[in-house]
Amino acid sequence: MKKIFTVILFTALCSFGFAQNNYSSLYEEAKKYESEGRLISALGTYFDAIEAEPSAKAADAINSLEKISSIIETGIYKRGGNVSDSDIYQAWVALCADYQLYFIEHSPYAFGIGLPVKSDVDNGAKTCSYTFTLRAFYSDKYKFINKVLKTGYDKIKTSDWKDVWKDILSYECYTVSFKIVDSENKNIFSSENASVKRGKTRNVFDYKFTKADSKKMQLIESGNFSIVPTKVFLKTTDFGQGELELKNVRFGNFVSIYKNVNPLIAVKALPFVKLIKVEGGNFNMGSKDFDESEEPIHSVTVDSFEMLATEVSDEFYATVMQEKVYGKFPKAVSWFDAVKFCNELSRIYGYIPCYDIKPSLIEGIDDVFLVKNANGFRLPTEAEWEYAARGGKNQNPYLFSGSSKIADVAWYKPNSSKMEEVAGKKPNSLGFYDMSGNAAEWCYDLYQAYSSEAQSNPTGADPETTRVLRYVVRGGSFRDGEDACRVTARKAETPVALEGFRIVRQIPKK
């Protein structure tokens, strides 16, 4: 049954702030703040104005933003002359008070909730539990203003300045409550206060509703429910103010929040996530005509799956992992970073992550285990990779993915000296680009020699018994000749090597 996942926004409870004001009104509002000496509020509103009109028409707002930024970054006042240390101190007290007020009125965070994950099924009592993952995302505006303020503060402060300014997100947590309602707005679940803290968990909180009866299970399983935020508080006990209710907060499902929270960077719709369905089947894996590592040819069956049409680009990777974007060429990462990316993308979409990742005794090396019944994104197995590269059920007889003429489908040593933008050559018959050349690609499997026995959904060597960690890499790269770019060619790399990758999702069996 198709899931329907909606979010009802109750503006009577919180102003959730999706509405876009026009450039002129924002610009005038920013000028008003500036005339009142509320420089942080002016800075934030000029930022909003530029966001509303990201073109040369926003020149006045850009100039004003740069002027105020420069004033703050230089410390507001220079010491000496007619300006006393007391004047400088009081100016910064006022500035930091405006900072606190602005980010209470205009939350630096947006909140997203993922789809429910079912657990603790008791068939006798006909009950179960549902876990909803709540996540906070922070905006570019907050990061920009925080950097400006910190630059100036560090430049002008003296040792006797205490508690004048603190990063409003450096120590606090948000308290969020919400409820799950049916199509008639009748309550299914009500949460207690959930605390979302900033930290290594990337602002994630799992809220578990227990002992859902059969009626509630039916409503949740049908997907005909809505998530209604009730209140969002900022804990500011260090300011002596207790809990403050936030206004202008974005609240929605993971994908809608992720699309809208940072509109100045490439987070508009994750348009580069194009998954192509690969219908499962049987094929003869390997080759007897080239390297002995490709022998013996053996029968393999794979289940249906979806695979990303392109290699994961730098743009895609940086957007998900909240890093700086450099381009649309393939992202080269370690095997460990590739699986972490898969987990992070799964969380964004509300899926169960496929990997359980734990630090090992060796620095820089993680213990990674597949999670049973996970439905998130993962690396392809070597068998899935070769099956898709060769055209799936069609099993095209080409040496390379999509053609026996390598220049038609691949960036490789004779025609490129660097990684090129993804999808710059012809795709194969299923629509996959760059499976030969450009960036070599990680597979999930630990490398092992082939067996002549028929296999079903093989996943490589057993990590529990393998002494040397070398993972399968496929497809060849721009550094390689044509032999390495063949669809059956394989090599092994240590997991800290930097290679490209693409992602897959399993298609559930009916």
- What is the residue-wise DSSP string for 173-202? EEEEEEEEE-TT--EEEE---EEEE-STT-
Instruction: Give the separation between CA 280 and CA 2, rounded to whole angstroms.
Output: 22
Residue 50 banded pLDDT, cuts 50, 70, 90: confident
Rounded to whole angstroms, what are the CA distances from 231 to 248, 350, 420? Answer: 12, 22, 47
pLDDT score recorded for residue 240: 45
Structure tokens at 355: 């990997």
| Residue, of 53 and 214, whose pLDDT is higher | 214
Residue 185 banded pLDDT, cuts 50, 70, 90: confident
Residue 10 has pLDDT above 60, yes or no: no
The sign of the CA dihedral 39, 45, 51, 53 is negative
pLDDT score recorded for residue 119: 78
pLDDT score recorded for residue 236: 53
DSSP one-letter string for 107-123: -SEEEEEPPPEEEEEET
Question: pLDDT by residue (tens digit) across 394-441?
Answer: 999 999 999 999 999 999 999 999 999 999 999 999 999 999 999 999
| Residue, of 239 and 197, whose pLDDT is higher | 197
pLDDT score recorded for residue 4: 23
pLDDT score recorded for residue 293: 97
Closest CA to 501 of 434, 447, 442: 442
| Residue, of 22 and 278, whose pLDDT is higher | 278
- Residue with tokens 């695979």, as numbered in its chain: 307
Closest CA to 219 of 185, 243, 195, 254: 185
- Which runs of consecutive H residues, i.e. helices, occur in 357-422? 382-389, 406-409
| Residue, of 289 and 161, whose pLDDT is higher | 289
| Residue type for position 110 | A
Residue 238 banded pLDDT, cuts 50, 70, 90: very low
Least confident range of 57-61, 67-71, 76-80, 433-437: 76-80
Mean pLDDT of the chain: 81
Q: Report helix, strand or coil for 18.
A: coil
pLDDT score recorded for residue 64: 94
Instruction: Give the separation between CA 387 and CA 306, rounded to whole angstroms.
Output: 12
**Is there a contact between 172 and 235 (Cβ–Cβ < 8 Å)?**
yes
**Is there a contact between 192 and 120 (Cβ–Cβ < 8 Å)?**
no
Question: pLDDT by residue (tens digit) across 99-114?
Answer: 878 877 777 777 777 6
Question: pLDDT by residue (tens digit) across 252-266?
Answer: 655 555 444 433 232
Q: What is the mean pLDDT of residues 150-170?
A: 75
Least confident range of 34-48, 185-199, 479-493: 185-199
Question: pLDDT by residue (tens digit) across 116-147?
Answer: 777 788 888 889 888 777 777 667 788 888 88
| Residue, of 299 and 214, whose pLDDT is higher | 299
| Residue, of 268 and 207, whose pLDDT is higher | 207
Structure tokens at 417: 């000296």
Closest CA to 300 of 452, 454, 446, 448: 454
pLDDT score recorded for residue 254: 55
Residue 271 has pLDDT above 60, yes or no: no
Residue 6 has pLDDT above 80, yes or no: no
Instruction: Give the separation between CA 499 and CA 255, rounded to whole angstroms.
Output: 28
pLDDT score recorded for residue 39: 94
pLDDT score recorded for residue 3: 28
End-to-end CA distance of the chain: 11
pLDDT score recorded for residue 444: 97
Q: Would you tell me how many other CB atoms lie within 10 Å of the CB of residue 290?
A: 14
Structure tokens at 164: 């004048």
**Is there a contact between 137 and 258 (Cβ–Cβ < 8 Å)?**
yes
Q: What is the mean pLDDT of residues 372-400?
A: 95
The 3-class SS string of 458-477 reads CCECCCCCCCCCCEEEECCC
**Is there a contact between 257 and 110 (Cβ–Cβ < 8 Å)?**
yes
The model's pTM is: 0.57
Question: pLDDT by residue (tens digit) across 304-340?
Answer: 999 999 999 998 898 888 788 899 999 999 999 999 9
pLDDT score recorded for residue 323: 83
pLDDT score recorded for residue 211: 86
Q: What is the mean pLDDT of residues 379-391?
A: 98
- Residue with tokens 């800075």, as numbered in its chain: 43
Residue 366 banded pLDDT, cuts 50, 70, 90: confident
pLDDT score recorded for residue 402: 97
